Amino acid sequence: MRFVSTRSGSAPAGFSEAILQGLAPDGGLFVPERFPTFGATELAELEARLDRLDAFAERVLRPFFAHDPLEEQLEEICGAAFDFPVPLVPVEAGTGLLELFHGPTLAFKDFGARFLAACLDRIAGRASGPGALTILVATSGDTGA
C-alpha cells in the first residue's frame, strides 16, 4: 500500500518510508491511498480473533503493510507491541467498555507508541542486534505519562 500527503504535493511513500519521514516533504500528513474493506467473511474472521489483540491487530493492519519491507514481520511487531491485556468489561446487556489503561504506562497511548517503536526498531535493523534506538516524544500532559 502507498501513503499520500494530505497536501497532495509529494510522491506516494511506502509504510516504512512514511514512518521514517514522519511528515510528507510538502508538510502534509501521510494517509493511505485507499482504506481496505472487510466483507462478511473477513468480519467473522476478525470477530474470532477478538480474544487476542495481537492477532486481531495483525489481521486489520495487514493491508497497510502490503509490499513493504516490514510486511513479513507484522505478526512479530504486533506480538511485541500488544502483549498486555485489553479487557472488554460488560457494562450492561449488549454494551461493554474497552479498558485501554493496562499497558506499561497505564495510558491509551501505549497502543500507538509501542506499535511505532516496534516498527522503528525493525526498520533500524535493531530487533536482533545490539544498540539502542532513541525515540523522542512529547505530550501535552493531559492524559498521563
If one compares 51 and 71, the residue with the highest pLDDT of the two is: 71
State the DSSP code for 3: E
Q: Please report the pLDDT score of residue 1 as a whole number.
A: 93
Task: Say how many residues make up the chain.
Answer: 145
Report H helices in the chain: 15-21, 40-48, 53-61, 74-81, 109-123
pLDDT tens for 97-125 read: 989 999 998 888 888 889 998 999 898 77
CA 31 to chain centre: 13
Q: Please report the pLDDT score of residue 123 as a whole number.
A: 87
CA 127 to chain centre: 17
Which pTM was predicted?
Answer: 0.80
If one compares 142 and 57, the residue with the highest pLDDT of the two is: 57
- Asked about 109 being catalytic, the answer comes back as yes
Q: Show the cell assigned to 34.
A: 485507499
32 falls in which pLDDT band (50, 70, 90)?
A: very high
State the DSSP code for 13: B
Q: Which of 109, 115, 116, 127 is catalytic?
A: 109
pLDDT tens for 41-69 read: 888 888 777 778 898 899 899 999 999 99
